A and B are shown apart, each in its own frame.
Chain A
Amino acid sequence: MSETKEFKRPGGELSNRPLHFIWVVDCSGSMHGEKIGKVNHAIQSTIPEMADAARNNPYAELLIRTLKFSSGAQWVTPEPVNVDNFCWSDLEAGGVTDMGNAFDLISSQLTIPPMSDRALPPVLVLISDGQPTDDYKTALDKLLALPWGKKSVRIAISIGQDADVSILNEFTGNRDLVLQANNSADLVKMIKWASTAAAVVSAPATPDSTTVAGGAGGSNSSPIIFDINNIPVPEESDPDDINVW
């Protein structure tokens, strides 16, 4: 529309900061079949909503990446991609659960460089259904010792009842940010909720009685305030259905 105008104000867009958002997906053998299919579907359908939200967020440049782990870990998206250009690549499952390997790869990206020295806290969303088969502990400690690791906002989605919740708790540093998805409707809701962390990080609310602080806890961490009323609650499931996906 500016071509038709004879006058244009000077200046550019409001200055913003990069916001790195990383999907970390367990692709071990137990995720094979419908489970990984549902994760693929849920994340893919959340991306347009993330892009919409990013268009209304003047404070952040939302950059997305996907990391998968099974036997070893691998970046599906090697470089951070602007949410407008991000396409979900379907993941396939098979192999063991080298979660520590995934943490190592994240650590290598949250170091400056390649990480810029001026950003919003990164958001890490871990989706897993099982127990790590490698030494996750050393890798997680290393990640959480990094300045950007400490500042990151970490959410975990546990699929079914087999995931080791205590390990996911260690990852998020906050029980409330470990979400339990018992069926595919839960999964969609929780992935969608986790995706809104991007907006919450760029304009964090001040705490009050109905909120919960995310992050590792302690004075060096980066708490992010979520509205506890909106954290999705898993649906009541028939115990027999827990593993029926």
Chain B
Amino acid sequence: MEGFIKKNTELISECSNKYRVVKLLGSGGQGEVYEVGLLSAEGEITSLFALKWYFKNNATEAQMSILENLISRGSPADVFLWPLELVHDSRFTSTGDFGYIMPLRPNNFKGIVDLMKCRVSPTFVALSRTAFNLTLGYEKLHGMGLAYNDISFGNLFFNPENGAALICDNDNVTAGGRVSVNGTPRFMAPEIVRGEAQPSRNTDLFSLAVLLFYLFMVHHPLEGALEAKIKALDIYAMEKLYGRKPVFIFDPDNESNRPVKGYHDNAIIYWDIFPKRIKDLFIESFTVGIEHPERRVTERRWLDAIINLLFGVVKCSCKSEVFYDDDLAADGVGTTCWNCGKEIPPVTKIVIGKSRALLMKDTKLYRHHIAGNFELTEAVASVTQNPNNPNQWGLRNESGAEWTYIGVDGSRTPVAVGKSALIAKGAKIDFGEQVGEI
């Protein structure tokens, strides 16, 4: 398939880099995306990038100024395939046409539609990682005073093996002002569907909640009995379902839109698997959050809940991943496996501030756990076995700073880097910034 720009065409970017068109990758509503090679002085391809080239109607001055702004601000986080530089080379294209260079998406990343169609089968841990990475990305973007405006399946990718995520199509990102897109059906906040609002940071928060619900439940949060009743799902029906009369399928105070067996099985299956804390955030998002855009669940609340999901997965003896439910545990109710129905044996846990992590063989704690900074790449502690007493398990200090172990009897012992602190119920560890309780 050939695009508007022919293969092997060489284009010079605004920063005087030379790129050669390798192939057309795809075509969308606004333009075409090519794989391009950055050329060395000798004309050899040194590394590969993606080039988005706008269709004539979309190559507007407004779009150009959005891009210039995004390029000068720089990427909020690694998760974004952020615009790097502009290309408007009039030698091969009509005057006024332009495109931009961005990093190329690696092949091992899959679309969210692959997840929806069961073409990939990530674990709950990988999926929670994806949810974490995406939410953190939007948090950083919003932190820069920007809004994404179109969170939806088409502009996200993930690695089903490890949960790494990528956010592309960042050319609709704005810092206030007129937005050129309305968003994507099913992801748009109800006030946009009703024509009362434009995309913004607050409507991003609604779309994010929809996205997280799709990731975890493989279903739309507003599609229940009211959807099943509709014969022709046309634009009027959709405006009502997603805009004028949105009802959450698990609204505790309104049972009119419960999922229907046979039509909405995923919602029924997955809802019971997830712990109360994440479900409470969904309920808040799609009840209070529907009526009050300014009271939607913020990214940081999602991140805290998702981190507790990630560090709360137990493997049942039937090999299923089971989410530990803190609220059930607090009521003295054990967690049972959704697959085989067996009760999961009690697991030791550590609670540090808003974080809770189950302490099992191979568990690692990260910088976030002691600093509360959503940093999950740098390990600060590992669960270890006492070589002299295999019945004893400890938490090895890999944090770079000394800890203090506070025994059940209140005794205080320093834990140097490389040393392990005994995991005993009731003991505490002072990590410096926060104290964890086992």
- B291: CB under 8 A from chain A? no
Give the shortest distance, in Å, between A174 (CB) and chain B (any CB): 14
Contacts of B124 in A (CB 8 A): 9
Chain B residues near A206: list those with CB within 8 A. 182, 185, 188, 192-193, 195, 235, 239
Interface residues of B in 104-162 (CB under 8 A from A): 111, 113, 116-118, 120-124, 127, 153-154
How many B residues are at the interface, by size bracket? 35 or more
Contact A9 B121 (CB under 8 A): yes
Q: How far is the CA of A194 from the CA of B137 in the complex (A)?
A: 37
Evaluate contact between A56 and B270: CB separation under 8 angstroms. no
A11 CA / B267 CA spacing, docked (Å): 9
Which residues on B sit within 8 Å (CB–CB) of A222?
A: 232, 234-236
Interface residues of A in 95-123 (CB under 8 A from B): 117-121
Contacts of B231 in A (CB 8 A): 117-119, 147
- Across the interface, B121 reaches (CB within 8 A) one of A2, A118, A121, A229, namely A2
Question: Which chain A residues lie closer than 8 Å to B121 at the CB level?
Answer: 1-2, 5, 8-9
- 314-328 of chain B: CB within 8 A of chain A: 319-321
Which residues from chain A contact B118 at a C-beta distance below 8 Å? 12-13
Chain B nearest CB from A161 CB (Å) reads 28
**Chain B residue nearest to A229 in the complex (CB):** B57
Segment from B2-10, B258-266, B409-417, B426-434 that makes contact with A = B258-266
Q: Known contacts A203-B186, A206-B195; is A14 also within 8 Å of B234 by CB? A: no
Is A203's CB under 8 angstroms from B185's CB? yes
Instruction: Assess whether B182 is in contact with A205, with CB atoms less than 8 Å apart.
Output: yes
Chain A nearest CB from B25 CB (Å) reads 13
A57 to B185 Cα, complex, angstroms: 12
Question: Which secondary structure dominates chain A's binding surface?
Answer: loop
User: Contact: A223 with B235, CB < 8 Å?
Assistant: yes
**Contact string, A199-222, partner B, CB cutoff 8 A, digits 1/0?**
001011110100000000000001
Q: B234–A204 contact, CB under 8 A? A: yes
What is the CA–CA distance of A14 and B265 in the complex, to the nearest angstrom?
9
Residues on A with C-beta less than 8 A from B154 are: 56
A-B contact count (CB 8 A): 111
Which A173-219 residues have C-beta < 8 A from chain B? 201, 203-206, 208
Find out whether the CB atom of A15 lies under 8 angstroms from the CB atom of B266. yes
The interface residues of chain B lying within 8 Å CB-to-CB of A208 are 182
Those of B195-233 within 8 Å (CB) of chain A: 195, 214, 218-219, 223, 228, 230-233
Q: CB within 8 A of B269: which of A1, A11, A117, A204?
A: A11
**Chain A residues with CB below 8 A from B57, complex form:** 229
For the complex formed, measure the closest distance between the CB of B297 and the CB atoms of chain A, giving whole angstroms: 23
Least Cβ distance of A202 to chain B in Å?
Answer: 8
Is A227 a contact partner of B29 (Cβ separation < 8 A)? Answer: yes
Contact among B117, B127, B195, B238 with A204 in the assembled complex (CB-CB below 8 Å): B238
Query: Quick check: B113 and A11 within 8 Å, CB to CB?
Result: no
Is there a chain B Cβ closer than 8 Å to A58's Cβ? yes
Contact with B along A106-144 (1 / 0, CB 8 A): 000000000001111100000000000000000000000
Does B184 make an interface contact (CB < 8 A)? yes
Interface residue A23 (Cβ < 8 Å from any Cβ of B) = no
Give, as a whole number of angstroms, the nearest-CB distance from A172 to chain B: 16
Candidate in B232, B236, B239, B269 with the most chain A CB atoms within 10 angstroms: B232
* B374 CB within 8 Å of chain A: no
B49 at the interface (CB under 8 A from A): no
Cα-based distance from A204 to B193 in the complex (angstroms):
11
A78 within 8 A of B: no
Is the CB–CB distance between B339 and A10 below 8 Å? yes
Provide the residues of chain A in CB contact with B218, threshold 8 Å.
11-14
Given known pairs A7-B321, A56-B111, the reply for A119 and B232 (CB within 8 Å) is yes
Taking CB atoms, residues of chain A closer than 8 Å to B238 are 204
Task: Answer whether A6 and B266 are a contact pair too, CB < 8 Å, given A58-B153, A229-B57.
Answer: no
Question: How many angstroms between the C-alpha atoms of A119 and B319 in the bound complex?
Answer: 38
Bound Cα distance A230, B230 (Å): 30
Q: In the complex the two chains form, what is the Cα distance from A10 to B218 in whole Å?
A: 10
CB neighbors of A among B230-272 (8 A) = 230-236, 238-239, 263-266, 269-270
Query: Shortest Cβ distance from B150 into chain A, in angstroms?
Result: 11
Among A58, A59, A205, A230, chain B packs the most CB atoms within 10 A around the CB of A58
For residue A22, CB closer than 8 A to chain B, the reply is: no
Q: Mark A49-62, 1 if CB is under 8 A from B, else 0.
A: 00000011111000
Contact with B along A139-155 (1 / 0, CB 8 A): 00000000110010000
Cβ of A6: which chain B residues have Cβ within 8 Å of it? 319
A203 to B123 alpha-carbon distance, docked (Å): 29
Q: Are A12 and B266 in contact (CB under 8 A)?
A: yes
Q: Are A58 and B266 touching (Cβ within 8 A)?
A: no
Q: In the complex, what distance in Å separates the CA atom of A225 from the CA atom of B236?
A: 12
Asked if A17 is at the interface (CB within 8 A of a chain B CB), the reply is yes
Interface pairs (16), CB distance under 8 Å: A1-B120, A6-B319, A7-B320, A9-B122, A10-B270, A11-B265, A11-B270, A12-B118, A14-B266, A15-B223, A58-B153, A117-B231, A118-B233, A121-B234, A206-B192, A206-B195
Question: Apart from A9-B123, A55-B117, what 8 extra A-B contacts exist at CB < 8 Å?
Answer: A9-B127, A10-B269, A12-B265, A117-B231, A118-B231, A118-B233, A119-B233, A205-B185
Q: Which residues of A contact B (CB under 8 A)?
A: 1-2, 5-15, 17, 55-59, 117-121, 147-148, 151, 201, 203-206, 208, 222-225, 227, 229-230
